[in-house]
Every structure is written in structure tokens, then in C-alpha cells.
Structure 1
């Protein structure tokens, strides 16, 4: 019998202090005061309009992202979380995360977030090197980063630090030093991403030069070794955690779970009782959104796209892909992908077992080539 997957909630806060040159996320630069009271009211109305799609499922995780959610006042975050809770049954032990910019934080704000129900902080550190912070156009210094990390640790042990490697003019030693700094403060989770320059960014227009690919590859290899040696287990392509501290919200994404997306430009994926998957995209225009025009588009995912999207997510994880899980999450039979699986095995990307498929080291290193097989 088909079973609806677990469902999460993503809340997008679109304002930032400054648009970073490498960032392609949807955001507004905050030049004037933010209409946060009005925005919170409309976020909750947006949430209400989506509730009929989820078939009485409890929200298992909440992630407040952006943009820079920590630009909002603590009372706004408290009102937002309370508003969600009174409109829907939240799982008792739900993970509630908030992204934060070190420039906008102090001890009291962390305390208020915790009082509001936030139980996981995610700091956008990117690098501890002040010179590199300037080059990637961040608005804070290394000193402010360290202060934010220390203050957050006083309030909550469940802390993620976002770091990026492969920055302009970054050496292997620089990258490893960033990791050493992060490990020193003992966060429960470290997200370590390779910088990629997307076409719709100012870095792309400026043709910013990145380190040689051999240097970047060595950053990955040596960084993996350092993190593993320091007690961090790699459970996803760019995610490392202490025991039992994996990000549950992102795990739901990568296991092809469902999520409501509310706020300007937010995306949602919601499975229906008949097995069809609906995707929602919210209005990017802040003025339209604040006028009550929330939904930009809603559509049903095709069978072909459903298959590709499933593998695009689950192949990121360092765990077997169970055939039963494929059937449960897609409401499709694996016979539909028999030829694709055979090609992936022949290419050395996959190993086929009785109950699951396992991605080889080659498959992880050439993930894009593996995924291309499932586009057809």
C-alpha cells in the first residue's frame, strides 16, 4: 500500500545585508526597514493555504532560511513559530533550524531563538580568514565569526557551521586551517561545500578566477581525512556530523520526503494520496506577496522527472538506496528503470544487491554522469 512520506516546512526570509558575489539564492538587499510584521502575517496565511495539500500529516522539521533570517527581530521569529504550531500538529521532537549571519547575532538573540522553539542553529561562516571574507564580499570579520560561534555554543550544542572551499586565491593550507578552526569549537555539524560560480551571479560576470582543479580536489581529499579523524562522519556529499547530529530537515529532502515551501520564491514538494507529486513555487515579488498573491505556479511532476529527482537526491547520501524505498517514495516499480540501472552498473557507478543499490566511489566522484543516465 502506498504510504505518504514525512513532510517538512521550509520558510524563506528574503532579505540580506548585502548580495554576495557568488550567491544565486533569491534575496533582496535590505536598504530600508524590513516590513517583518506584515511579512510574518502573510507567511502564516501562505502556510494556511497549503495545509489542504498535506492530508493531516504532522510537520516533522522546520527550517527558516534565506536570505538572512537573523535580520528579523527575535519576537518576529517567536510569533512565526507559534503561528505555525497553532495551525498544524508539529511532531513532538521536531527539529527547528534557523540560518544566521554572524554579523547579526549576539548572545541575547540566541537565547530568544531558543525560547521561541529553535533547537538548531546554522551559522553561515564560509571562512575564518578575514582577507578571504572580503574577497567573497561577506559583511563580517573573522573576529565576529568567532564571537558568534562562541555565543551560540553557550545556548545550544546543536550547531552547524557552513564552510566553503575553493575560494578565490585560497590555498590548500587556508582551507584546512578553516576546518581546524571549526573543529576547535566543536560544532555538532559541519557543512563543507565547494564554491561553484553560477551564471546569474556577479562573480560569473566578473569572471572571478578560482584555484586550479587539482588544488580544489586536494582540499576535498585532505579535508575529508581531517574531519573523519576529528570525529565527523560524512553522511552526504557536503555534510559531516557528530553521532546523532545529522540535519534531519536536509535528510528529509535527500530521502525524497515532502516539504511545504512558504515565503517569497520558496519551493514545495507535496505528494498526494494517489501518488502524484505536486510542486509549488511561490511569488518572488515582495510587493505581490505582501498583497496576498502567494502562489506563482503549481504543477504535477511527470513520471520521468519524478525518477530523476528521486535519484538526484538519494545518490547524495552515503547509504544504500533500498528498492522498497524507491517504490514507497515514488509509487513506481523499479522495472521502469531496469535499463538505466544496468547502464549505471556497466559504467561502474552502481552495485546491484538483492534489496538495494549501492553507489561506488566512482559513482560518487562522477555523480553528474551517473545522474545523466536517469534523465532518459
Structure 2
């Protein structure tokens, strides 16, 4: 049975959810000091004569955005909040406090909810980050990318290696839950240099490390002027080395690019991977919201000026909306959950999609025959081979009427 044939199964035209999944809040801050040449996120270099962002107007728009979305999530409790970007640490601590106060006023928030702020070296000031903690931020994610000055320059970063170390020092003085973002397979990077980066990150003894393979994305400067990157063989060797080094330092590789100390996995990101719900507010933010009889994806207007103009005119800030078909639900669940090293409970597929596991039995059997995953009545998880060839594994579950690129692009939140 193909994924498209889900539509012909009696009773699956409008599959019902017995319970709603956990809910997270994503808040997008779209400005950066400088647009990096590899970045395809919805981020915009600050170009105002003052060099400042329209903070007050944007915070007002975010609160209005949240208020307008309340009817979709009324009474639901937030398990995590994530300020992403862009560079959210460009905001003042006062702005963060105003936003979080509004969130807590409008929605119930779990007592020990994870509240993450992304921050880039070059925006670090000791008092400012102490104030972020006071405002309610309890997890910091730092965009280090590399501790090597040469590679930071090649990546177009505004900080150098000294800024990177100083950022970690300031963060550790104020936060006990920290993630460091690194990238590997960088222009001109050797295996030894990649190892120095990951060893340096592990030596900081933070709770969480993310290590992403640099890829050339459309609509980036690197796509127009491609740098010389390590070949696939060297990149794979770097990935193997990173997994070995992090394991030696007691980090568990719980997701394709994520490594955590026991119990310190990113709760916000795990909710994504397990097809949980997230409300996204801010320019270009994506949402996935479940209802009893539908699952809806929405995207806000991407350009900050347009987003602000819509908000100030009391018009809807939602630019696009998609109601997921049964085939979409099936693929998107698998696309996300198979990123987790430990896989997922078999029963979760039905709980989050409203579909019986038999709806993808043919694809599960094919993936197992090819040695890409293992499954039984209790658990489904990728094999080592499946982790290495994740795109091939996901392709098995891809709806026939979509291209892999289109499906992946439309399903991954910013």
C-alpha cells in the first residue's frame, strides 16, 4: 500500500485525534547584525541608520499576534518557549520580560517549562545576560559555529574565537542549562580542526551540544559563490569523530545533530521531533496546531516590515495555511520522529496522527527489509545504516505527489 492510498481507506478521510499533543511556543526575532553567507533562515541584516531594531513596535506586534491566536490554543498549557532567529539576544532584557509577562498572562505555562533564548557571540554583555535570566530565560543556546578564527571568518560570522570563549564564560556565570551550536565540514576544514572544535566544546562541560553539517542552501551567498567544502568521505569521517568524542565525554547522541548529558535533552526540540504542536509568532514563524479533526500548518508574513504593517493595521499576520491530509500527517510524523536515535513508541504514531500504524505497514516493511529501521509492536527506530542514510529512509514514506525537497521544506519549522 502506498502512502497516497491512505485516502481510499474507509474512515480515514478525516482521521480523529483522541487527545491533543503537548504545545510549545516559538517566538521569531528576524534581525541579525550581519547576514551569514550560508544562512537560509528568515533573518535580515539591520540596515536602519541608528543600527537598532524597532523593538517596541515588534514587541507590541508579537503580543497582538499571540492574542489573535488564542482561540486556536485556548486552555492548553505551554511546555516550552523558544526565542529563535535571527539573533534574539539583540532584544533588551526589558523586551524579553514584557513578552514573557504577556505569554504568562494569556496562556498557562508549566511550572518548570524550558524557556530558551538563542544568542550569538558579539551580542554578549555580562549584565544584559544576567537580566535575561532574571526575566525568565532558563536555557541559553549560543551560536558558536566554530572556535577557530579562520573558519569563523570564512563563515562570515561577526565574532572571533576570543568572542566565542568570552560568550561561554558570560553564559556560564548566569545559566546552568546551555547549548553550544557548532558546524562541521566547513570551507577548508580538516578532520583535526573539526576535532579541535568538538573537543573544545566538550571541555566547556555544558549540558547540550548541537553539531550541524554545513550544507549549501538555495538563496544564500554560498549558493551563488560556492566555497570549497570537504568531500563526502571527509565529512562522514568528521561525523563519526564527533559521535565518538561526544560519547567519550558522556554526551548521548539522541537526535541526528544533537548531543546531551543525561536528562538534558532539548524539550522544545523533542516536541518537534515527536510531532507535537507549536504556535509560532513573529515574522515568518511557522505553526503546527492540532484540533480533534484536523492538523493545520500556518506561516506568518516573512518580511518584518510587512508583518509589522499587518499588525499595526489590525489585519491577520498569517500568510499561508495548509490543512494536512492523511498522507501529509503520515510522512511528516515519520520525517520528524526518525531523526531520534532511540526512535519512538509505536502507539505514538496513532496518537499524534489519528491514523492506525497499519496505514504505513508497507513502508515499514520495506524500510526494515533494506536494513534502515527496526520495528515491532512496541518501538520503531532507525538502524545505524538508517541514521547514515536518513534521506533514503525518509523517501520511503514520502507522499508520491510531492518531491522530497518540497515536503522537507514545508514541514520544518524555522
Match of 1:117 in 2: 136
Match of 1:47 in 2: 66
The structural deviation recorded for 1:321 is: 2.4
Q: Does the CA contact (< 8 Å) of 1:150 and 1:185 recur in 2?
A: no
Match of 1:26 in 2: 42
Match of 1:7 in 2: 23
For the residues of structure 2 that align with 1:123 and 1:354, how far apart are their CA atoms?
A: 39
Q: Aligned pair count?
A: 375
1:314 to 337, 346, 356: 337
For the residues of structure 2 that align with 1:225 and 1:323, how far apart are their CA atoms?
A: 29
The structural deviation recorded for 1:157 is: 1.4
Match of 2:367 in 1: 344
The structural deviation recorded for 1:146 is: 0.3
Unaligned runs of 5+ in 2: 1-16, 400-414
Match of 1:368 in 2: 391
1:284 to 280, 286, 302: 302
The 5 Å alignment of 1:1-376 reads: 2-32=18-48, 33-274=52-293, 276-291=294-309, 292=311, 293=315, 294-376=317-399
The structural deviation recorded for 1:351 is: 1.6
For the residues of structure 2 that align with 1:290 and 1:361, how far apart are their CA atoms?
A: 46
Q: Does the CA contact (< 8 Å) of 1:256 and 1:310 recur in 2?
A: yes
The structural deviation recorded for 1:358 is: 2.6
TM-score, normalised on structure 1? 0.98
For the residues of structure 1 that align with 2:221 and 2:35, how far apart are their CA atoms?
A: 9
For the residues of structure 2 that align with 1:74 and 1:282, how far apart are their CA atoms?
A: 25
Q: Does the CA contact (< 8 Å) of 1:54 and 1:272 recur in 2?
A: no
For the residues of structure 1 that align with 2:341 and 2:97, how far apart are their CA atoms?
A: 35
For the residues of structure 2 that align with 1:352 and 1:224, how far apart are their CA atoms?
A: 24
Match of 2:412 in 1: none
Cα deviation 1:166-203 (Å, max 9, x = unaligned): 00000001101011111121111000111001011110
Q: Does the CA contact (< 8 Å) of 1:47 and 1:262 recur in 2?
A: yes
The structural deviation recorded for 1:336 is: 1.1
The structural deviation recorded for 1:305 is: 1.1
DSSP-derived class of the 1:23 partner: coil
The structural deviation recorded for 1:207 is: 1.8
Cα deviation 1:331-375 (Å, max 9, x = unaligned): 111111111111111111122223222321111111111111111
DSSP-derived class of the 1:342 partner: helix
Q: Does the CA contact (< 8 Å) of 2:74 and 2:107 recur in 1?
A: no
Q: Does the CA contact (< 8 Å) of 1:101 and 1:125 recur in 2?
A: yes
DSSP-derived class of the 2:233 partner: helix
TM-score, normalised on structure 2? 0.89
The structural deviation recorded for 1:225 is: 0.6
